[in-house]
Amino acid sequence: MIEDFFQRTRAMFDLPKGVVYLDGNSLGAMPKSARERVLHELDESWGRELIRAWNTAGWIDLPARVGDRIGALIGAPKGSVVAGDSTSVNLFKALLAALELAAPRKVILSDSGNFPTDLYVAEGVCRLLGRGHELRVVDPKAVECALNEGVGVLMLTEVGYRTGRKHDMRLLTEKAKALGAVMLWDLAHSAGAFPVDLAGCGVDFAVGCGYKYLNGGPGAPAFIYVRPDLQASVAPALSGWMGHAAPFAFELGYRPAPAVDRLRVGTPPVLSMSALDAALDVFEGVDMLALQERSIALSEDFIRRIEADCPELQLASPRDSAWRGSQVSFRFTEGYAAMQALIARGVIGDFREPDVMRFGFAPLYIGFSDVEMAARTLVEIVGRRLWDRPEYRARNKVT
Ligand SMILES: *Cc1c(COP(=O)(O)O)cnc(C)c1O
């Protein structure tokens, strides 16, 4: 039954033959629907309708439409998520809004497992405000202890990109809010990977990525969530015309649009947002809990195989699946070269400094035979030192 279900979702993707794709945590595979949709938007909408397509093809409503579809996967009510911009830019928007609500508190608390762009953006926001704001970065395990009444915004990524370690969203949100802090989550490695309950957890702001588990394509638009009852008090820092109450009134002064639409900035990238919209078709009828169970089963199988036959590698991810996202990481001193050797044999994962080999398990298109193939290939590469070649050590720009 469940096997049949995932066979069907796999058939919705266009994957090259002979490739085992374990990098959906970084760039999701291509749904056939996304390809068809982009071709349609090019040939029919842009090509034939030209500028009329903003109305006739519904381009103008894409950010809200795609936002709502993503919202359904992350426990966000309709009208609370809007798609657009990159995750970094959305984080900038959310963080400025969150700090304004948190005033006079000036501390942003985050952790050292966070993705660097999140920390860089927070640094920039502190500098830009020029009012003594401070980014405090602690170990992921020390976040709960570091929360106190001085913290204005707790800014965390639910799943750490390096090890796949997962925070307890419910507990940390509850604790942050009880202490009067504003809660901002980055769902880059959560959305489309397992159930998220933004509304149920009382999260204030969230952002996330369109090109990882949501399969929206390279550089796909990201998304931003604002808790419904906060939306009216958000004064957008990036107050662009698409976030205006009446963009086509062309008024001289800015008036924010109602609700989350005020977090739109400029003209949406229609082609890539259409790809993301169509990619979300794959999630129709998918039970996120079943998806998570499948991801855990695949991950456990991979861990078991590697630990049994490849003692050179050390598990870097939490052993308990309750504290893992949908990826498994192993440490290996020659991890970069080993990953290149693996990729050369058609098993695609990636590498993060200094020694982490990452394997993402996107159950919509990865099955147990893929896990078996990947593990067997990796065991052979490490066991027979097949990674030990100069061409596998040469670093590419993107690792
Ligand atoms: C992937 C990822 C990003 C990516 O940000 P972009 O602006 O889309 O490049 C940001 N934050 C986290 C936590 C990520 O995992």
Residue pLDDT, tens place only, 330-378: 999 999 999 999 999 999 999 999 999 999 999 999 999 999 999 999 9
Q: Which atom of ligand 1 is nearest to the CA of 161?
A: 15
Domain boundary among 226, 259, 283: 283
The answer to whether residues 311 and 236 belong to one domain is no
Question: How far apart (Å, rounded) are the C-alpha atoms in residues 59 and 277?
Answer: 11
Closest-CA residue, ligand 1 atom 5, reads 87
Write out pLDDT tens, residues 308-320: 999 999 999 999 9
* pLDDT value at 168 more than 90: yes
CA–chain centroid gap for 129, Å, is: 27
The answer to whether residues 20 and 146 belong to one domain is no
Q: Find the 3 Cα to ligand 1 centroid distance in Å.
A: 32
Question: Does the beta carbon of 41 lie inside 6 Å of ligand 1?
Answer: no
The answer to whether residues 98 and 140 belong to one domain is yes
User: H/E element holding 373?
Assistant: helix 368-383
Confidence of residue 399 (pLDDT cuts 50, 70, 90): confident
Q: Find the 291 Cα to ligand 1 centroid distance in Å.
A: 22
Q: What is the pLDDT of residue 380?
A: 98
Q: What is the pLDDT of residue 39?
A: 98
**What are the beta bridge partners of residue 359?**
328
The answer to whether residues 216 and 362 belong to one domain is no
Question: Does the beta carbon of 25 lie inside 6 Å of ligand 1?
Answer: no
Question: Does the beta carbon of 189 lie inside 6 Å of ligand 1?
Answer: yes
Q: What residue numbers bound the domain in which 386 lies?
A: 2-30+287-393
* pLDDT value at 67 more than 90: yes
Question: How far apart (Å, rounded) are the C-alpha atoms in residues 97 and 338?
Answer: 43
Of 171, 210, 180, 152, which Cα lies nearest the Cα of 28? 210
**What are the backbone angles phi and psi of residue 27, rounded to the nearest 5°?**
-145, 110
* pLDDT value at 165 more than 90: yes
Q: Find the 26 Cα to ligand 1 centroid distance in Å.
A: 9
Of 91, 90, 132, which Cα lies nearest the Cα of 110? 91
Judged on CB neighbours under 10 Å (0-12, 13-18, 19+), 55 is exposed
Task: Report the side by side order of strands in the sheet with 356-360.
Answer: 314-315, 327-331, 356-360, 350-352
* pLDDT value at 396 more than 90: no
Write out pLDDT tens, residues 170-213: 999 999 999 999 999 999 999 999 999 999 999 999 999 999 99
Asked whether residue 399 is domain-assigned, the answer is no
CA distances from 16 to 27, 29, 345, 366 (A): 15, 10, 13, 13
Confidence of residue 122 (pLDDT cuts 50, 70, 90): very high
Closest-CA residue, ligand 1 atom 6, reads 87
Look up the pTM and report it: 0.98
The answer to whether residues 94 and 56 belong to one domain is yes
The answer to whether residues 192 and 327 belong to one domain is no
Contact 249, 194 (CB under 8 A): no
Q: Find the 122 Cα to ligand 1 centroid distance in Å.
A: 13
Task: Report the side by side order of strands in the sheet with 107-111.
Answer: 81-83, 223-226, 205-208, 182-186, 151-157, 107-111, 134-138
Question: Does the beta carbon of 223 lie inside 6 Å of ligand 1?
Answer: no
- CA 330, 332, 336, 338 dihedral sign is negative
Q: Find the 18 Cα to ligand 1 centroid distance in Å.
A: 29
What average pLDDT does the chain have?
97
Question: How far apart (Å, rounded) are the C-alpha atoms in residues 255 and 267?
Answer: 17
Domain boundary among 283, 318, 345: 283
Q: Which atom of ligand 1 is nearest to the CA of 118?
A: 11
CA distances from 318 to 2, 145, 239 (A): 26, 20, 41
Q: What is the pLDDT of residue 160?
A: 98
The answer to whether residues 239 and 188 belong to one domain is yes
Confidence of residue 1 (pLDDT cuts 50, 70, 90): confident
For the segment 265-290, the average pLDDT, to the nearest whole number, is 98
The answer to whether residues 250 and 319 belong to one domain is no
Indicate which residues carry an active-site annotation.
Answer: 115, 186, 211-212, 358
Greatest alpha-carbon span in the chain: 69
Q: What is the pLDDT of residue 353?
A: 92
Question: Does the beta carbon of 279 lie inside 6 Å of ligand 1?
Answer: no
CA distances from 124 to 76, 186, 345 (A): 28, 17, 41
For the segment 116-130, the average pLDDT, to the nearest whole number, is 98
Q: What is the pLDDT of residue 5?
A: 95
Question: Does the beta carbon of 186 lie inside 6 Å of ligand 1?
Answer: yes
Domain boundary among 239, 268, 283: 283
For the segment 239-255, the average pLDDT, to the nearest whole number, is 98
Closest-CA residue, ligand 1 atom 2, reads 188
Q: What is the pLDDT of residue 22?
A: 98
CA–chain centroid gap for 383, Å, is: 34
Q: Find the 394 Cα to ligand 1 centroid distance in Å.
A: 25
Question: How far apart (Å, rounded) are the C-alpha atoms in residues 215 and 40?
Answer: 18
Q: Domain with 214 in it: what CATH number? A: 3.40.640.10
Confidence of residue 26 (pLDDT cuts 50, 70, 90): very high
* pLDDT value at 133 more than 90: yes
Q: Domain with 17 in it: what CATH number? A: 3.90.1150.10
Number of structural domains found in the chain: 2
Residue to mutate (ligand 1; options 26, 85, 88; most atoms within 8 A of CB): 88
Of 164, 100, 108, which Cα lies nearest the Cα of 295? 164
* pLDDT value at 2 more than 90: no
Q: Which atom of ligand 1 is nearest to the CA of 89?
A: 7
